Structure 1
């Protein structure tokens, strides 16, 4: 089991995830078409050329999902009962095809579950950075995580 149980977390624990990912045009095309997002800034090179960015932006849903996905192996793989929510999702810098993203996670809160004695709630702040060290996405994620078996 790669993920941690509730008792194995402490506020302030920080993980630099080993997985990095260079974003491809296919990534951007697939997330945009799978979610029926016709935004020309993601799909139309000519329209994007006339934008302030001068080229297509990667769909932020991809950036968000990649950040969560990369974190799973080190956080909740095998220990997750349920994701409870995402808060304060921000995209301070754009992501472009060819950017290589790295991710890190920090525990910002812990509490016992009031309704489930076998679980606790962990809140993480996830952050993604591009190859220049610029933060491109941040969010808080809360999850119900199982406790060690007594």
Structure 2
């Protein structure tokens, strides 16, 4: 099992995930199609070149959020998560473009025992995505219900 149990996590712990991902045009177009998002900012190159400050299509931020959290799973919650409880403070301070390579860092921000489940705790992660130029392109807080190790759950 790749993920960590609740009691194996520490506040302030930082994961620099080894998996990096170059975002492709196909990623962006397929995500927009699957989510029925026809925004010209994601799909219309001519419009973006002539009418936007960026001069090119931007990757759908929903894809960026999903990729950022998804890359974190292998090191943090794979096999130990019970449920995702929510995403807060989702921010996209800079755009992502086709061809950008993203790297992800995850910080453990808060830990607390679950009041209703003695075998679990609630963890709050801060996920951050950076492009190949070390520019922060996405950040969010994510709370999850995480299993405690069998030894810690009693």
Normalised by the length of structure 1, the TM-score is 0.99
Aligned position for 1:29: 29
1:5-84 equivalences under 5 Å are 5-49=5-49, 50-84=51-85
* CA distance in structure 2 between the aligned counterparts of 1:56 and 1:134, rounded to whole angstroms: 18
Report how far residue 23 of structure 1 moved. Answer: 0.6
Q: Which runs of 5+ in 2 are unaligned?
A: none
Counterpart of 2:106 in 1: which secondary structure? strand
Cα distance, 1:69 vs structure 2? 0.5
Structure 1, unmatched stretches of 5+, are none
CA deviations on 1:30-65 (whole Å, 9 max, x unpaired) are: 110100000011001111112111000000011000
Partner of 1:137: 138
After superposition, give the CA deviation of every residue in 1:66-116 in whole Å (9 maximum; x if it has no partner): 001000000100000000000000000000001000000000000000000
**CA separation in 2, counterparts of 1:148 and 1:102?**
29
User: Which residue is 1:107 aligned to?
Assistant: 108
State the TM-score, normalized to the length of structure 2: 0.96
What is the RMSD of the two structures over their aligned residues, measured on CA atoms? 0.5
Q: Matched residues in 2 for 1:36 and 1:141: separation?
A: 25
Shift of 1:130: 0.2
* Aligned residue-pair number: 150
